[in-house]
Amino acid sequence: MARVTVTGKNKGDILLFALSTCVWCGKTKKLLDDLGVAYTYEYVDLLTGGERDAAVQELSKWNPSKSFPTLVFNNDKTIVGFREAEIKEALK
């Protein structure tokens, strides 16, 4: 599965690295949906081979422990884990 873009309010470039089986990733995704912002997500566990390796490599640049969910804002700021208050603050 490739990256999926969700339409909504433009709050900058928002990229979510997630796992399809992860409940905290699901909560993060739902929060973004509820806030109505535009973002792109990728279920890394649904990728295979080279695609998965490339995604993990990209993720490790932002979050060396390669954990999920990882949110990347404007190729700059990162929030690791479902940190509701921090995410809301970043999207104000």
Partner 1 sequence: MTEKPGTRAVDRLYETLDADARQGGYNLNPEAEFTRSLVEGLLTNTARYGYQACPCRLASGERAQDLDIICPCDYRDPDLNDYGACFCALYVSAEVLQGKRKLGSVPERRGKLVEKKEDITGCGALIKLSQPVWRCKVCGYLCGREEPPEVCPICKASKERFERFV
67 vs 78, which CB is nearer to partner 1?
A: 67
**Helices (DSSP H) in the chain: which residue ranges?**
23-35, 49-62, 84-90
Judged by CB under 8 A, the residue of 16, 39, 82, 91 near partner 1 is 82
Torsion sign over Cα 68, 73, 76, 77: negative
Q: C-alpha dihedral over 68, 81, 89, 42, to 10 degrees? A: 10
Q: Does 24 bind partner 1 (CB under 8 A)?
A: yes
Q: Is 21 in the site for partner 1 (CB under 8 A)?
A: yes
Query: What is the smallest separation between the CB atom of 12 and partner 1, expressed in angstroms?
Result: 22
What is the DSSP-derived secondary structure letter of residue 45?
Answer: G
CB of 10 to partner 1, least distance (A): 27
Stretches 2-10, 14-22, 33-41: which one binds partner 1 (CB under 8 A)?
Answer: 14-22
